[in-house]
Amino acid sequence: MARLRVINVVVAGFFVFQTIFLLLIYSKHTVLPYTDTKPEKVHLLIISSWRSGSSFIGQIFSQHPDVFYLMEPAWHVWVAMFQNSAKVLHMAVRDLIRSVFLCDMSVFDAYLPERRNVSALFQWAVSRALCTYPACSYFARDDIANETSCKTVCGKNPFSKVEESCNTYSHVVLKEVRFFDIKVLYPLLTDPSLNLKILHLVRDPRAVVKSREQSMKALTRDNGIVLNTNGTKVDDVRFDVMREICRSHVQMYETAIDKTPSFLKDRYMLVRYEDVVKDPLREITQMYEFANLKLTTKLKSWIYNITHGKSSGSKRDAFKTTSRDAANVSQAWRSVLSFKKIQEIQSVCKAAMNLLGYQLIDTEEEQKDMTMDFVLPRKQYDFRW
Ligand SMILES: *[C@@H]1O[C@H](CO)[C@@H](O)[C@H](O)[C@H]1NC(C)=O
Ligand SMILES: *[C@@H]1O[C@H](CO)[C@@H](O)[C@H](O)[C@H]1NC(C)=O
Ligand SMILES: *[C@@H]1O[C@H](CO)[C@@H](O)[C@H](O)[C@H]1NC(C)=O
Ligand SMILES: *[C@@H]1O[C@H](CO)[C@@H](O)[C@H](O)[C@H]1NC(C)=O
Ligand SMILES: *[C@@H]1O[C@H](CO)[C@@H](O)[C@H](O)[C@H]1NC(C)=O
């Protein structure tokens, strides 16, 4: 009897062990519902608006060796159909980014000539992935890419390299300034073939206007599309485009936190450009965490260099920003814009500014008083949920 009991205990123990083992295996599998054994891909969409620091944030992702990055692929949609409104083009833009996320580059057949090289893509050379192996064999995959040298040696590669390269990455990151409504993205958020995360980048509208005024001509066609002018180019002198941009920030933010649909949970993160400028490493670490990316030693060193003025020779605004004068740069609008203009922008963007922690300036004295900071500290605005 005693011997039988011992055997029973052994058998029971074995069954318990086996059950736990099977449960472990099973739970591992349920974490990956859409693939067999490969880790799940991440599709990150950086949504921003013109002149809000999104090229800089795009670079932060582009240089990561696990990321296939494209800047503004929907530029091609807007150029091809410039007589339409942003609202009408939303759907074509959504279809395009869905295909690109899935590395199906045939979607560009609609917008590019049949015979084309990598260089046919808008701003292709800011994509580290298109400048390194396997898209371009001159540079190793984990090299920090240099836009200038990339342009000279990688542009003539056949367009098929875009797709080939994309397929080798765990992360596809796209940056777009052409979404004004987060609901347009719902079908992608619920699409089982995608694992979409949205990084919403905003910036003080007053700083945005200052920057937009420096590149006014370049924005007139896009302004026309935002304002639905049937192809007529316009200057945004009355801040109608700014009104639309600010309205869209409110819509996205409120939808994502107040009326969060279940499929948006843990898939939305809001970042203020000013916070990135103030403490780049902290903010970048959090953005990487959100995207399931690891900060490598090399990237850390590169980020330190570009935020401390040891720039890569690129002429982009963002790269000229050093942390020493970061506060100075994000305050520059205060000495450039007239008080009257500041009031106009504030009146158009009031709701967004209240929501995002950008305080209104009430008097010209406040505008001049550089001891005052009109960006509320980040801790009062913790944007993760
Ligand atoms: C693409 O690159 C090849 C060289 O590899 C060149 O002969 C051809 O003209 C290029 N095509 C276009 C459309 O730029
Ligand atoms: C838009 O402009 C084109 C010419 O550029 C014109 O043929 C068309 O009728 C215009 N559409 C509207 C709705 O005004
Ligand atoms: C950063 O700068 C230092 C000194 O100029 C240089 O040695 C290092 O290679 C740079 N790091 C990267 C990743 O570019
Ligand atoms: C980038 O490439 C250009 C041209 O080849 C060169 O002048 C510049 O020094 C490079 N920058 C870096 C950081 O390597
Ligand atoms: C930025 O710094 C420069 C000199 O360091 C100064 O002349 C300028 O007034 C500063 N601008 C702002 C907006 O603080």
The atom number, within ligand 1, closest to the CA of 156 reads 2
Side chain identity at residue 213, one-letter code: E
Residue 209: burial class (beta carbons within 10 Å; 0-12, 13-18, 19+)? buried
Query: Which residue CA neighbors atom 12 of ligand 4 most closely?
Result: 312
pLDDT score recorded for residue 34: 45
Residue 142 CA to ligand 1 center (angstroms) comes to 27
Residue 158 CA to ligand 1 center (angstroms) comes to 8
Nearest C-alpha neighbor of 323 from the set 335, 336, 306: 306
Residue 75 CA to ligand 1 center (angstroms) comes to 22
Rounded average pLDDT per 10-residue block, the chain, 385 residues: 57 58 50 52 97 92 97 96 95 97 97 96 96 96 92 96 98 97 96 97 96 92 95 95 97 89 92 91 95 96 80 43 57 93 97 95 95 82 54
Query: Which residue CA neighbors atom 1 of ligand 3 most closely?
Result: 305
Contact 148, 311 (CB under 8 A): no
Q: Where are the domains of the chain?
A: 42-103+167-380
Interior/surface letters 213-237, b for 16+ CB within 10 angstroms, e for the rest: beeeeebebbbbbbbebeeeebebe
Residue 111 CA to ligand 2 center (angstroms) comes to 21
CA distance 43 to 253: 20
pLDDT score recorded for residue 322: 45
The atom number, within ligand 3, closest to the CA of 298 reads 13
Structure tokens at 108: 């560009």
Nearest C-alpha neighbor of 320 from the set 127, 47, 53: 53
pLDDT score recorded for residue 380: 58
pLDDT score recorded for residue 9: 60
Residue 345 CA to ligand 1 center (angstroms) comes to 46
Mapping DSSP to helix (H, G, I), strand (E, B) and coil, where does residue 152 land? helix
Say if residue 134 is preceded by a cis peptide, omega within 30 of 0.
yes
* Dihedral angle sign, alpha carbons of residues 254, 197, 80, 155: positive
Cα distances (angstroms) measured from residue 339 to each of 84, 367, 373: 35, 7, 16
Residue 201, strand partner residues: 271
Mapping DSSP to helix (H, G, I), strand (E, B) and coil, where does residue 201 land? strand
CA distance 102 to 85: 26
Contact 76, 95 (CB under 8 A): no
Angle at which helices 240-257 and 339-356 cross, to 10°: 10
Contact 178, 84 (CB under 8 A): no
Residue 295: burial class (beta carbons within 10 Å; 0-12, 13-18, 19+)? middle
DSSP assignment letter at 199: E
Interior/surface letters 265-294, b for 16+ CB within 10 angstroms, e for the rest: eebbbbbbbbbbbbebeebbebbbebbbbe
Contact 135, 161 (CB under 8 A): yes
Token pair 């945005």 is found at: 208
Ligand showing the shortest atom-to-Cα distance for residue 121 = 1
Ligand showing the shortest atom-to-Cα distance for residue 207 = 5
Q: What is the CATH number of domain 42-103+167-380?
A: 3.40.50.300
Nearest C-alpha neighbor of 199 from the set 263, 122, 256, 145: 256
Ligand showing the shortest atom-to-Cα distance for residue 311 = 4
CA distance 134 to 63: 15
Residue 42, strand partner residues: 171
Q: Evaluate: CB of 305 within 6 angstroms of ligand 3.
A: yes
CA distance 205 to 286: 24
**Residue 158: phi, psi to the nearest 5?**
-60, 150
Q: Tell me the three-class secondary structure of 262-318, residue by residue.
A: HHHCCCEEEEEHHHHHHCHHHHHHHHHHHCCCCCCHHHHHHHHHHHCCCCCCCCCHH
The greatest distance separating any two alpha carbons of the chain, rounded to the nearest whole angstrom, comes to: 96
Cα distances (angstroms) measured from residue 4 to each of 10, 214, 254, 371: 10, 88, 66, 84
The atom number, within ligand 3, closest to the CA of 302 reads 13
- What is the reported pTM? 0.86
